[in-house]
Amino acid sequence: MDLTILLTILGIIATIAAPAAGYILKLRKEYKNYYSVIWKSSKKLKARELLGERPYEDYYYTRNIDTQIQRSLERRRNIIIVGPPLSGKTRSFLNALKQLKIPVHLLVPRSVQVTNFQFPKDFIFWKPQMIFIDDLQYYIERQDSFYLLFREAKERGIPIAATCHSGREFKKVKNKMVEQNLDLDIIFGDDIIEMEKISADEGKLVSEKLGMKWDTVKFNGTIGSIFMRLSEMERRFDNCDNIEKTILRSIRNLYKSGIYEENSIFRLEWIKKAAGMFELEGRDFEWTGWIKNLEDKEFVKIARRNKIWAEDAYLEFVVKPEVEIQQTDIFESMTEVFSDNAEVLQMLGERACDIGMVDTQIGDYMKIAIGAFEKVLTLIDKDTQPTEYTKAQNYLGQSYWSLSKVKDTVQNSLKAVEYSNEVLKTISIESHPVEYARIKNRIGSTYTAFAEIETREENCVSAIEAYNEALKVLTLADFPLDYARLHNNLGGAYLILASVKDKSLNYKKAITSFEETLKVVTSADNPKLYAIAKNNIANTYARLSDIEDAESNLKRSIEAYNDVLAQQSKEKAPLQYGMTKNNIGNAYAMLALIKHKKLNLDNAISAFEEALEVRKPEQVPIQYANTMFNLGDAYLVKSELDNDAEPLYRAIDAFEESLKIRKEAEYPIQFAECKAGLGKAFVNLAGFEDKTENYHKAIASFDDALKIFTEEKFPENYSMLQEEISKAKKIFF
């Protein structure tokens, strides 16, 4: 080839390649804002790229769980390692990664907010890939569009490996994923690996390998408590001066309140303001010296200009508050300190809201969250900061909805709907279809809960309208899991509506909706939602049997309940198992009134007794009392059928056992029902033995029931009891 032509071709290639290379470098630099590792070979990966600033030792203590982690990575399956802080989750992943026979290209997202989600391209696309999310609880907390990464990974067939704190943080992650219709149990399946604590003997072995004296180790059952030298850091904290302790306590309060960037990075301005609560003030050069001292003592590290990284393990286990205070008190004090900072209040509110979703003090946390978000709305301008304004409103809708479950249901439900509708004024089905649909779903859920309390028809109709609006976006083809959950919710609304209007029609619409759910989910891929939908179908058929086709609908109900039982073993899901067995018992008892009385009654009694194997009075007293009442009722009928006194003894025992929980003051209606059943049992027993004694016991029981079932308030129950008293008098007189 002519040299001139060759040079011309090379010039053209260079002309094209130079801008392309520049664009790629620019793009890669932008990606670095959102990803700490971008498609790097696991073979070349450095420990610090995953472990960050934490200490790293070449020595690794192998545990049985490592084999499972290794196997999951080799099989290219999604895996999540769950355990308490310092249990060695990230280190165990790194160890397994380094031992892979075939190295993978790794992508590691940072726990930062992304305005527009971007997924970097791997130019060496033929290599196996993997995404690693360390501390999933932080990533989901800071990344609103986290679900896009999971969907991208699924579409591309890239496995996700993750670590997550156990306990409350793990529950929080599951809840946040459910909000985006991602089911953690489905995504990770059998590869949810729990990192257990190690024994003291194992701890001694590790410390020996590291050349540490065991009596200097502050061991808490985690391997990290040895590597991180908690005992030494505790000694250093005790030796800190008052200013240094105050700064560390201020950082701890920020951490506990969710006021940080990425993984425990704190702005210096936040630290200064939080320290002001302890009346600590200083000039810039003084703060520089104080932070440098803490860095020398290895508590913090200056991450970048005016940003400080602090080890969360030290904030959790080493930095001790001057006086022990509750988490809610920390939130309240930080709310006051940052009352003029919308950005911080938004973070604090989100943290309080997330904790409230999984904590028994849901009401306290939701009030804190609501206070923070309402303050945010007063601090930002709706016109200049529309995204932030809408976000605060959206969280207010969620928080009021959560609060309505435990306090002032009507008032807080109305607030939830109000704020949700405010959000819908700024977005539309065209501009933000998915967000629009999810808000409509939440509005539907709020109206459904509202319908349980008042104006059932009106609220059910509103709920159904909201759900149907959401279904315009969350279709079977595009969002199958969202579609399934929505139809389950829609069925629930029709079920409530049936109690006040067009019973047969609405029960059938409910069943149709629940069956739509089952078009998507199976017992294998989503056992929980499958069981919920099946249980709803069973309940609906049982109610429909009161109106039409009693025998066939009861049989369908029992069949559906048995399908549910296939997903609920007595050992793994005892409460659900007990509920389903109780429901099966009720269905058989109703079927006994129609056909094969003896057989179906015996089946009912067996089901109730199996339910009682897991429904214990000390664990679930109300459910225990309910099943005991049902059992007593079944034995009462069995006695009449067999013309035998023996079932009456069992009926009396069951009613009396139920009454130990169904006290008149606490559960008056249920108390009266039990007393009425007990009275019937004594009347029937009087026909076999001790006529006078059992007659008086029967009358006493009926009298107790009549204290509640008065003619004015409960005319039907009152009339039934009068008939039973007349029957008793005929036997006696």
DSSP 336-400: HHTTT-HHHHHHHHHHHHHHHTTSTTHHHHHHHHHHHHHHHHHHS-TTT-HHHHHHHHHHHHHHH
CATH number at residue 104: 3.40.50
pLDDT at 319: 95
Q: In this structure, are 694 and 711 located in the same domain?
A: yes
Q: How many domains, the chain?
A: 4
CB-neighbour burial class of residue 189 (10 A; exposed 0-12, middle 13-18, buried 19+): middle
Q: In this structure, are 19 and 54 located in the same domain?
A: no
CA–CA gap between residue 10 and residue 34 (Å, rounded): 36
> Strands across the sheet with 129-133, in order?
35-41, 105-109, 129-133, 160-165, 79-83, 192-194
Query: Domain ends where: 267, 299, 324?
Result: 324
Q: What is the pLDDT of residues 523-546, one digit of tens each?
A: 888 888 899 999 999 999 999 999
Q: In this structure, are 189 and 241 located in the same domain?
A: no
Q: In this structure, are 191 and 244 located in the same domain?
A: no
Q: In this structure, are 2 and 62 located in the same domain?
A: no
184 part of a folded domain: yes
Are 470 and 457 in contact by the 8 Å Cβ rule? The answer is: no
**CA-based R_g, the chain, Å:** 32
pLDDT at 23: 45
275 part of a folded domain: yes
pLDDT at 28: 64
> Which tokens hold the place of 732?
């006696």
pLDDT at 12: 67
Q: In this structure, are 162 and 68 located in the same domain?
A: yes
Q: Residue 224: count other Cβ atoms within 10 Å of its Cβ.
A: 22
Q: In this structure, are 64 and 109 located in the same domain?
A: yes
- Residue whose pair of structure tokens reads 């919308």 in the numeric block: 342
pLDDT at 41: 94
What are the backbone dihedrals phi and psi of residue 425, each rounded to the nearest 5 degrees, phi first?
A: -75, -20
Q: In this structure, are 3 and 104 located in the same domain?
A: no
List Cα–Cα distances, 107 to 36, 76, 157, in angstroms.
Answer: 8, 14, 14
266 part of a folded domain: yes
CA–CA gap between residue 675 and residue 720 (Å, rounded): 13
What are the backbone dihedrals phi and psi of residue 636, each rounded to the nearest 5 degrees, phi first?
A: -60, -45
13 part of a folded domain: yes
Global pTM reads: 0.77
Q: In this structure, are 124 and 260 located in the same domain?
A: no
609 part of a folded domain: no
Q: In this structure, are 138 and 264 located in the same domain?
A: no
129-133 and 105-109 beta bridge pairing: parallel
3-state class (DSSP) for residue 131: strand
Query: Domain ends where: 295, 324, 353?
Result: 324
The candidate with the shortest Cα–Cα distance to 670, out of 618, 624, 719, 609, is: 624
**Alpha helices for 472-549 (secondary structure H):** 480-497, 503-520, 527-544
Query: Domain ends where: 261, 296, 324?
Result: 324
pLDDT at 7: 63
Q: Residue 410: count other Cβ atoms within 10 Å of its Cβ.
A: 13
Ranges of the chain whose pLDDT falls below 70: 1-4, 6-28, 731-733
**Which residue segment(s) compose the domain that 90 sits in?**
35-196
**Alpha helices for 99-222 (secondary structure H):** 136-142, 146-156, 168-179, 184-188, 200-209
Are 54 and 229 in contact by the 8 Å Cβ rule? The answer is: no
pLDDT at 362: 85
CA–CA gap between residue 614 and residue 577 (Å, rounded): 8
Q: Distance of alpha carbon 498 from its chain centroid, rounded? A: 30
656 part of a folded domain: no
CA–CA gap between residue 392 and residue 596 (Å, rounded): 60
pLDDT at 659: 92
Q: Helix 386-403 to helix 342-356 angle, to the nearest 10 degrees? A: 30
CA–CA gap between residue 267 and residue 132 (Å, rounded): 26
pLDDT at 179: 79
539 part of a folded domain: no
> Which tokens hold the place of 220?
């808490």
Q: In this structure, are 24 and 74 located in the same domain?
A: no
721 part of a folded domain: yes
Please report how many Cα atoms fall inside a 13 Å half-sphere around the Cα of residue 8, on the Cβ side: 5
